[in-house]
Chain A
Amino acid sequence: MANIGGRGFGDVVLDQQVLDALIHSPAGPVARLLVKVGEQTTQEAKRRAPVGDRSSKTPGGHPSGWLRSNIGWAVGRDGGDLVVDIVSDAITSQANPFPGEPYSVFVEEPSLRPRGLPEKFRKGEGPYLRPAFLDVIKRVIG
């Protein structure tokens, strides 16, 4: 603990253990705020993610809603700081001519597609993660 002298207000006592619990604990108050952001952003991104009209009929293809079902979150640590990762790790299926590519990234940022995409498949493309995150941050933090 550290005592900081005041003038007319007595001493201010900083309890390092309490500060640690507040800032560093992955189950503490800061972490709980990150959990709230992670959970709400995930749900908002799922709502915004495009969903195909039907499941792929090609063997090894993805069912309808594959991207939506592959969005998640996890509280972790980056160096000494708590972080929340909101992850969309859907990749193109084995039925795709280019399997294993980061399909979730391409939907979020279509300009990153190395080969473009036929017009008929472009429906609903566009960011779903970043707008979801910005909406939630506005709601949670103001």
Chain B
Amino acid sequence: MTDIVVTDLEAAVKVWLNGHTALCGKGKPVDNGFLLGDVRSPAQGVIGSVALGAGSVGELADARRVVLTLRAVGRQGPEGKGPRQAVMDAANATARVFFGLDAPVRVTLPGGGVVVLRYVDAETAQGPTPAGDLGGEIAYTLDALVVAQEG
């Protein structure tokens, strides 16, 4: 009987991005880091979310489109940067990290599993693109096909 292997790709991307100290953390472009699913921005700081995109899985079994969305509301940081500027900066910084994944990275998940993020298919990269301006909350999104495997 064939074993079914489930790769928690979203969680692995989230853990990997949150581990970039130049990208996530206080005073960094994505102050509040990345979470799974659809999140609302807090009063202060940019927040990111990670979700699987729609569409086929393609020819590679463990390749899925991963969608990252950055959001902020209100003025940000000591210099009072507008939310649009803060989110654009965060989206550009995220794109440089995310689209730049071209060598395997082993990610240990909080639950104990290991996922290897092999690479981001740069030819499938889209964005950053505006994704909303609702109630003062600005959103930008970017996505690409991520190829991964169970560690």
Contacts and interface: CB of A to CB of B under 8 A. Distances in A.
A23 B128 CA distance: 16
Interface string A35-77: 1001100100000000000000000000000000010111101
A35 B141 CA distance: 11
A80 interface: yes
A20 B134 contact: no
Interface string A83-95: 0000101000000
A16 interface: yes
A121 to B, nearest CB: 25
B126 interface: yes
B135 interface: yes
B65 A25 contact: yes
Interface in A19-43: 20-21, 23-28, 31-32, 35, 38-39, 42
A23 B55 contact: yes
B35 interface: no
B58 interface: yes
Contacts of A80: 54
A73 B124 contact: no
A31 B139 CA distance: 13
A74 B56 contact: no
B134 A74 contact: yes
B54 A74 contact: no
Given A1-B59, A20-B55, A32-B129, A72 B134 contact: yes
Given A17-B121, A24-B55, A24-B65, 20 more contacts: A16-B56, A17-B145, A20-B65, A25-B55, A25-B65, A25-B126, A25-B143, A26-B67, A26-B127, A27-B143, A28-B143, A31-B131, A35-B131, A73-B132, A73-B134, A74-B132, A74-B133, A75-B132, A77-B54, A80-B54
Interface of A: 1, 16-18, 20-21, 23-28, 31-32, 35, 38-39, 42, 70, 72-75, 77, 80, 87, 89
6 contacts: A20-B58, A21-B126, A23-B55, A27-B131, A39-B133, A73-B132
